[in-house]
Amino acid sequence: MTTFERLKAATPASWRAYTDHDFVRQMGDGSLSQDAFRHYLVQDYLFLIHFARAYALAVYKGRNLADMRAAAAGISAILDVEMKLHLKLCGEWGLSPEEIEAAPEARATMAYTRFVLDTGLRGDLLDLHVALSPCIIGYAEIGMALVNVAGGVDEKNPYAVWIKEYSGTEYQEIAEAARANLDRLAADSLTEARFPKLAVIFDQATRLEADFWQMGLDRAL
């Protein structure tokens, strides 16, 4: 079993609440309120900015040049690629860059992103990557689950672009690299005595992901 599979198996209820959330189901069948999706997109932009900061922390926490280069590539993937794609998607949903940048940060966004940063600051690189893993790998699982509903994406579904993005080969490979990276770090620094502490971090991050979906549904700030 991979380290990621072990962590998931240790926290099954939280994992289900995250990956099977109403927001996800409603994206899958196309019934999600478009205003809820816009609210989510704006908050996800703010989320990604802090995510880039978490990768910067991973550079700092790197134990060697290979760790530092991998984290630096993560920063660049977000700042140079992901943010542009995100702004394009926001534009297609009628959201301007000015509107997005002026948006207040929701409490669920603050809670999740600062939790990840705090976990990384207090702990080592493995703690930080465990806190990041529900986010990176979870979206890949959700993308695949949604694409498998009804045997493929319905082009009439307003959320088809989102589903295709996360079920696509490129994102699936990013998630696979994250799974392998967790195993590599675990081989060096995971003891059986430490596992329950990592499972707590994983569970907290997973519950904060579910709260992020709920924030979108409720359009909460």
Which active-site residues does the annotation give? 135, 209
Question: What's the start-to-end Cα distance of the chain, in Å?
Answer: 39
- The identity of residue 171, as a single letter, is Y
Q: Out of 4, 45, 159, 212, point to the residue binding ligand VIB (CB under 6 A).
A: 212
Site for ligand VIB in 32-61 (CB under 6 A): 44, 47, 51
Minimum distance of ligand VIB from residue 44's CB (angstroms)? 5
Number of residues in contact with ligand VIB under rule CB under 6 A: 13
Amino acid found at 78: I
Q: Which stretch binds ligand VIB (CB under 6 A): 20-28, 134-142, 144-152, 153-161?
A: 134-142
18 near ligand VIB (CB under 6 A): no
In angstroms, rounded to a whole number, what is the distance separating the alpha carbons of residues 68 and 62? 5
Taking the C-alpha atoms of residue 160 and residue 30, their distance in angstroms, rounded to an integer, is: 8
Stretch that binds ligand VIB, among 72-80, 123-131, 156-164, 193-201 (CB under 6 A): 72-80
**Which region, left, alpha or beta, applies to residue 172 given φ > 0 means left and ψ of -120 to 50 means alpha?**
alpha
Written as one letter, the residue type at 95 is: L
Q: What is the CA radius of gyration of the chain?
A: 17
Cα–Cα distance for residue pair 52/91, rounded to 1 Å: 21
Per CB under 6 A, the list member of 17, 59, 77, 145 interacting with ligand VIB is 77
Residues that bind ligand VIB (CB under 6 A): 44, 47, 51, 74, 77-78, 82, 135-136, 139, 174, 209, 212
